[in-house]
Structure 1
């Protein structure tokens, strides 16, 4: 019993010290955050070095010592000659956009575009690796406008789609001077969709009334709880048609070669078919395009990193952990169904 009492006292003191340290770290983090004015920072990575390191690592593993020695000697000689007579290579700025339904990556994109426009020359190029299945019209309208800033400034803009650029994703892609897609990437979906449940009859069955008060005839067309009218449905459909017409006009402005009525049906096409319909200009992966450009230009990958608060970092870590658990269970379920 005496031993247990001593151990409990030791444990209590240890916990107290740990809690005190954690509190001190939290206070320091909060004070540092208050003293920081910027909301984030721009990360710049030279991709030429990335490709060079890949090649050199493979050469170290594959070539014999004599071959490797000659290779390194030739490279050193070429590098020395290049330093004596520097050649002004064009620059390629590489941006990444991974879109969700709210186009959340627009916040980073707008800063990256601003940074590029602050120093880019007409001889430079911007390459956007774009992946998005679309989402909210106003959100992707803003994202598309960010790419339009590059186009309006006269900078050559290339969009690479390796997996999907549909709906709002294609709204962004079509702004580019050139659209490159992998052979089985999904593109198109030039259409508008909206849906919402209506539980009015269920509420009425249980004698629950819902009153929807509005000022303006079409302030609310369709509702979740109230009774929907035919007039409201017609107005809602009219709004969808108007949005679709604006979408079609936007795409036609940047890709006038399209038969817009033929492709603006809400359908999607794989890369091979998308090329036939002129939704894209060539079939090529972003890896292939950038690796080739690295031989003739300086490639810089830009990424604006938002500075997150301590609470946001903790929340993000918890969210990622939960997502991993759910994804793991979902994959196991799919595997079981596949093998049964």
Structure 2
């Protein structure tokens, strides 16, 4: 009996807590939905030379004894002094490093456009922009906008290098081709210069269960293929025609920025690994982005730009509340396990 009383008390407390949590979450959801506005963001600038220097110095400290390390530091200080005497620090070139990690909607475009807008206020033709790009592609219009942002760099006469460590396919390659130089890791995936669209059709299933579905349009080709309606051969032909037009625009775009390509040979929708892509002139060099940037760090000042969106108060409260709820529920379930 004592166990049942304790168990009932525990369940009552649990139910009360869950109800309270649901009320709080509902209130937070209401606040987030009311007059929701973007909180803006902030440009973060990090000097990358210090990162590479620190890595080297840590390794030296671990490998050398005190006497060797002291002699090396003395030698390095002397070399830096000679270098500064021969060339002022501000005379060194600048490399602006950007990152783009693409999803199907190219959601990172918003940050990319702000980063590019910022660097174009200072960068000159003596500088370089390096984009570390990772994307398997996605929506045509979304990646078209992302590629247009990169085109602003080319139009300003600033050298653009695109580094690909894993994948730049379809819309990802649409962005990559704008680089004056494309650097790829040996086994990165590149290409997929093609267009694809697919959708299920359940019209026969609906008919089997005597369910009617009607599509009303104004305009002959307002709707070509549908999920629920009965598709026609004429609709399929128009849909394919639209895909072919989009594919031709894609090919023309790539050929404009990579005239060295035999575009009809590579615009088949196929993908190639970096080694094979080099032979087809889809890329210019085989290197990882780490290798490329560490080399440039010896010659220029590297600055990593990242535009970070500020989270609104409601979003911060929501994240904190979600964490608190998760921790509370984990604690409750662990207690329940002990009672059993």
Alignment TM class, shorter chain as reference: 0.7 to 0.9
Q: TM-score, normalised by structure 1?
A: 0.81
User: Per the alignment, in what secondary structure is the counterpart of residue 249 of structure 1?
Assistant: helix
Instruction: Indicate yes or no: 2:287 matched with 1:295.
Output: no
| Partner of residue 62, structure 1 | 63
**CA distances 1:286-323 after superposition (whole Å, capped 9, x unpaired):** 0110000000000000000011224445667869xx9x
Cross-structure match for 2:338 = none
Map of 1:130 onto structure 2? 133
Which residue of 214, 237, 242 maps to 2:217? 214
In the alignment, is residue 185 of structure 1 matched against residue 188 of structure 2?
Answer: yes
Q: What is the distance in 2 between the residues matched to 1:195 and 1:69?
A: 66
In the alignment, the residues of structure 2 paired with residue 286 and residue 316 of structure 1 have an alpha-carbon distance, to the nearest angstrom, of 34
Alignment of 1:324-339 (within 5 A): none
Deviation digits for residues 247-306 of structure 1 (CA, Å, limit 9, x no counterpart): 000000000111000000000000011001000011111011000000000000000001
Question: How far does the alpha carbon of each residue in 1:47-103 deviate from its partner, in whole angstroms, 9 at most, with x for none?
Answer: 100000101111111111001111222333344555666241000000000000000
State the number of aligned residues.
297
2:161 is paired with a residue of what secondary structure?
A: strand
Task: Tell me which residue corresponds to 1:4.
Answer: none
- Cα separation, 2, equivalents of 1:44 and 1:203: 57
CA distance in 2: counterparts of 1:265 and 1:314, whole angstroms:
49
* CA 182–37 in structure 1, closer or farther in 2 if over 3 Å, else same: closer
Specify which of 150, 153, 161 is matched with residue 153 of structure 2: 150
Unmatched 5+ stretches in structure 2: 1-8, 327-340
Secondary structure class of the residue paired with 1:60: helix
Q: Which residue of 1 aligns with 2:108?
A: 105
For residues 160-175 of structure 1, the aligned pairs below 5 Å read 160-175=163-178
Q: For residues 256 and 231 of structure 1, what CA distance do their matches in structure 2 show?
A: 36
Q: Does 2:88 correspond to 1:86?
A: yes
Distance (whole Å) between structure 2 residues aligned to residue 316 and residue 62 of structure 1: 44
Scaled by the length of structure 2, what TM-score is found? 0.81
1-structure distance, mates of 2:80, 2:190 = 42
2:181, 2:228 → 1: CA distance?
Answer: 46
Return 5+ residue gaps in structure 1 as ranges.
Answer: 1-7, 323-340
Deviates more, 1:72-81 or 1:128-137: 72-81
